[in-house]
Structure 1
Amino acid sequence: MASIIETHIENRERIQPNDTNNYGAAHGGNIMRWMDEVGALSAMRHASESCVTAHVDDISFERPVPQGDTCVVTGYAYETGRTSVRVRLQAFHEEPRTGEREQTTDSYFVFVAVDDEGDPTPVPDLTAETERGERLRADALTDESGE
């Protein structure tokens, strides 16, 4: 069982020509795939089991990530159910030479822990343990509800 902070995952993808759409920006399907991969890793880190995607909440693409730049995907688990782990996922456009970032996408995915036979299996409760963990959980719950 991991704390919220221990489930935090960050990954970078350099946007290559085969990652782009007709407008020279990262294809939305690629960004969703990268978010799904980071989310699954975060859920698995907490559950200590394989996790599969069960649900994706509203996802919108606010800004493009141009070819040659970097897409940074961050995620962390913030809430659990009996067999599920909720993960907040964000994508950012990052200029590789300066590290300057702007958020492009924000979403919430639900993963279900599965055993070796592919059947749902219980997950432990998620702890915050630190002030930062409490803040991340509160931010996810507030932003998810739209308040």
Structure 2
Amino acid sequence: MDSGVATKIIEGVPSAVVTLVIGSIAAYVAYRQYRVNHAKFKLDLFEKRHEIYLYTVEFLTRLANAVEMEPREALVFRGQTAAAIFLFDPDMAQFLNRVADKVFTPREQRRETQVWAAAQLQNLAERFMPYMSLATWR
């Protein structure tokens, strides 16, 4: 190899190292940005699901306590939980519809509805846990 070529290669090494360092820093920043955005997405998803959970707790509590409710309140609950079809699996959306339907229970069956609502409240956190547990969100 002639000395002119070797000199050119040696002169290019510092700029190659600088380029490599800058590229590595840019890759690290991009990775950290991805992690922050992913965490933000998870938090937003949690907040939306938590909101539906709280609406459900309130509605079931009213059913369990035999609070007289108008059919309009079932429609309001359906509106508050309408996003469930996108945030949970179809079984959860069907469950929320069953909860709303309990408003339309005939008077003779209200006691059964109270018992059902109380039972649902007992395991509601467990039902929502697979969607909301922060322990699995690393």
TM-score normalized by the length of structure 1: 0.23
- Structure with more of its chain in strand, by fraction: 1
- Structure with more of its chain in helix, by fraction: 2
Larger Rg: 2
TM-score normalized by the length of structure 2: 0.24
